[in-house]
Homo-oligomer: A and B are copies of this chain.
């Protein structure tokens, strides 16, 4: 076995995102202890929701993400991140497509405590 055979593979965000055909469908690419790194493509409006059990981190890869809160909003561009604290109601919005990473505990549902028809299948890996 040569050293090249022993090369481990990095996770390439652009390559992984190409494997996600649908918007609003997070896919897990890695885990850190009990937390998951998920890639997702979004466009348009999501629903108001919160996660009563956990903070939720957003790292934007491409595009401009807006997250509305009851008391304001934040805009997050490429090379930027934001952490929505546990229990804070929020609504993501993307005028144009946004490609981003979510970091949150394994088991966290995209619609949080709200549920409903926009709830994505959870814990799907690419």
Contact = CB atoms under 8 A, between A and B. Distances in A.
A76 B6 CA distance: 15
Helix, strand, loop or mixed for chain A's interface?
Answer: strand
Interface in A29-75: 29-33, 35, 37, 54-57, 59, 61, 69, 71-75
A81 B11 contact: yes
A71 B10 contact: no
A44 B69 CA distance: 43
- One complex includes copies of this chain to the number of 2
A57 B72 contact: no
Most buried by B among A5, A12, A32, A35: A32
Contact of A11 (B12, B37, B80, B103): B80
A56 to B, nearest CB: 8
Interface string A68-93: 01011111110111110010000000
